[in-house]
Amino acid sequence: MKFTAVVFIVFVIGAMASPASIRATVVEGSEEEVVNVTCSATELSSCLPAMTSGAAPSTECCDKLKVQEPCLCTYIRNPMYSTYVSSPNARKTLTACNVPYPAC
């Protein structure tokens, strides 16, 4: 339990230190589409228990993942978040929430 708390604190501190907002760009085929989503890793804090322990994700977590879906590649490319988003538990969380794992 202490490890999870430390991981959560590091995640929140890292998220607070990152830029406040990033515009998400979705690329489908040969066209790029700018989506109005503010990419903020703190929005996914409700998913941290599921991503770190493999527990079932909450409804709030799934709702946030669906909104932040265009941002997942941004998080995967960021070394601060990639270990969370690329982990086997994160993939299980995405699957449980019916959010496809992005092909970045």
Distances in whole angstroms, Cα of residue 91 to Cα of each of 21, 24, 48, 50, 60: 24, 20, 12, 10, 17
pTM for the structure as a whole: 0.67
Spatial separation of the C-alpha atoms in residues 3 and 52, rounded to whole Å: 10
The whole-angstrom separation of Cα 9 and Cα 63 is 22
Alpha carbon separation from 33 to 12, 40, 67, 69 (Å, rounded): 29, 19, 16, 14
Q: Which of 7, 83, 98 is nearest to 45 (CA)?
A: 7
Locus of tokens 């804090």: 45
Domain 2-96 has CATH 1.10.110.10: yes
Q: What is the pLDDT of residues 75-103, one digit of tens each?
A: 999 998 888 888 899 999 999 999 999 98
Contact 46, 61 (CB under 8 A): yes
Report pLDDT for 104.
86
What average pLDDT score do residues 43-72 get?
93
